[in-house]
Amino acid sequence: MDDLNDWIEPLKGHPQAVTPNFTRFMQRSVCFTNANCPSPGCNPSRTAIMTGLAPYTSGVYSNYQDWREAIPNHRTMGSYFRQHGYFSSGAGKIFHYHMVDPDCWDEYWPSQQQNMPEEAFPDFAKSPLATADNPTPATMNMPAFHQMYGMFDWSALDIPDEEMGDFKSVDYVLQQLNKPRDKPLFLACGIYRPHLPWYVPRKYFDMFPLDDVVLPKRLENDLDDVGPRAKDIAVRGGGYHQHVVDAGQWKQAVQGYLASIAFADAMFGRLLDGLDESGQQENTIVVLWSDHGWQLGEKQHWRKFALWDNVVRSVLMIHVPKNTLGLRDGSADGQLCHRPVSLQDIYPTLVDVCGLPANTEIDGHSLTPLLTKPDAPWDHVALTTYDFGEFSVRSERYRYTRYIDGSEELYDHQSDTEEWHNLARDPEYSQIKKQLAAEIPRSPAPLVKTSEKLKPHHIPPFRSRAEYDEWLQHGKDNQYLLDKYWR
C-alpha cells in the first residue's frame, strides 16, 4: 500500500476507518503495531525494503535519486529469490515508478519498465474537474502552474472499480497466482491508493458523509517546542496546511483519504478472496506493508517527508502458514506485536522463513522470533532516516529525533501518543536521550548524486549542516542549491 498510515481498523488511527479486509487479515496474521519505515519517502523506503540496504548504507535518501545508479550491483529481494529457484512476478508500484530492477522479475505488469501513469493507473486522468487547459486540476482552485498542487487533489469518480488501475493490478496478480507452476512463486502486488490524487469511485466517498467527517487530532501551537528545521519541514513545499484550511477543504481531504483507504482495503479483499479460492492459502506466506505513513494537518503538516510518528509508523502484518520450512509452527496468527520493528526487516525475515541461505549483505533483523511469540524479548530499536544526517530512533516507549541543524525531539509514547510534548530539553530524560542517540550511525553513507532531473520547486537533500545553513542564508532559495550543488 502506498502512503497508508495507521488509519485502519486494526491500528485504530482514525475512528471512522472502514477496513474489514485489513481486520480479516489481522485475525490470520501477526500485526505489528510499532512498525516503522526506513525513510518517509517512496523511493528511499521502497529501495531499502527491496534491496535490503538501509538508506544510511546505500546513500539513497531521496525521491530525487535513481537508486540503480547509487547501488548498481546489489541483488534485490526478487532477484535473490530468483537465484534460489523462484519465479518472480508482480504488478503495480513496488519500486518507485520507473526505477525498476529488471533482474527482480521474470514477468511484470504493465511492463518491465513500469510505464505506470497511462497503463497501470488510468484513474490519474479521470478527475471530474479536469479540462483541456488544466488536465490535472487542484481542488483548491490554485493556478495550474502551481506545481505543488500537481496531484494534490481529491474527488469522487463516477466509474466502476474495474476501471481503476489497482483493480487491474489485482487481476494480473490473481492470474499469476493461479497459473500451474513447477517453481515456487515470489509474487508482489503494489496497490497505489491511498496515494494522491484521491480519486476513487463515488461509493467509497459515500461511506463518509462530509458533515460527519472527523478531523485528525491537532494541538494549536504544536510547533512551539520544536527546532527551526522541524518548522521548515512542516511547511516545506509552500505551507499545505494553511492552503487547505483557507480553501475550506480540510474535511473534504480527510474524506478523500478515508475513501481511498476503503478502496485499497476492497482491493486487498479481492486478493485475499483470490488466495483462498486458489487453494494455495496454506502454502503461501503473506506480507502486507505500507511504504510509510501520512499526515493530514497534524503539526500543521501534510504529506510524508517528516520524522513524526504519523508519518514514520507504517502498516505491517505477516502470515506464515504451518509447516513452512523456516517456521514449522507458523506465525502466531491473530496476535498483536508491540515491539519496535522496521520495514527493513521484511527482506531478512522472508529469506529466513523460506529457508533460503542467509543474505549477509543486507541490513535488518529477521522477525521470526516475534512471529512465533509476539512478546518475545527484542533488544532492537527501529531506525528511520529523512534525507541525509537526520534520524529518528523508535524504542517501544520513546521516539528520539535529531535533525541536520542539531535540534532534537523526544516523545514518551506511554503518555503522549500524539507527540505533542517535546521532552528533549528536559534534563530528567537526558539518559534516555543519550541511549537512543547512540543508535544513530556515526558514519552514514554519503548522499549519492544521480542523474535524476530536479526542478526549481524541488528542495534537494542537504548533504551537510553547512549546506543547510547556506540555503537559509540565501533566503531558502532552492534554485541556488540546484545551481551550486545539483546541476
Enzyme catalytic residues: 42, 96
For cell 498542487, what's the residue?
149
User: Phi and psi for 251 in degrees, rounded to 5?
Assistant: -65, -40
Q: How far apart are CA 278 and CA 93, in angstroms?
A: 24
Cα angle: 411, vertex 416, 420; to 5 degrees: 70
> What 3 state SS string does 252-296 have?
HHHHHHHHHHHHHHHHHHHHHHHHHHHCCHHHCCEEEECCCCCEE
CA pair distance 40, 308, nearest whole angstrom: 9
Contact, 259 vs 186, CB < 8 A? no
Check if the beta carbon of residue 458 is closer than 8 Å to that of residue 482: yes
- Which residues does residue 287 pair with via DSSP β-bridges, in sequence order? 318
Q: How far apart are CA 350 and CA 368, in angstroms?
A: 9
Rounded Cα gap, residues 295 and 303, in angstroms: 5
3-state secondary structure of 337: strand
Q: Reduce the DSSP state of residue 220 to 3 states and report it.
A: coil
Dihedral (CA of 244, 247, 248, 253) sign: negative
Pairwise CA distance, residues 217 & 57, whole Å: 36
140 near 247, Cβ under 8 Å? yes
Helices 165-177, 250-278: axis angle to 10 degrees equals 20
DSSP code at position 351: H
The Cα 268–Cα 1 span in angstroms is 9
CA–CA distance, 344 with 338 (Å, rounded to integer): 17
* DSSP code string of 382-429: EEEE-SSS-EEEE-SSEEEEE-TTS-EEEEETTT-TT--S--TT-GGG
d(CA 50, CA 72): 14
Q: C-alpha angle 62/405/464, rounded to 5°? A: 50
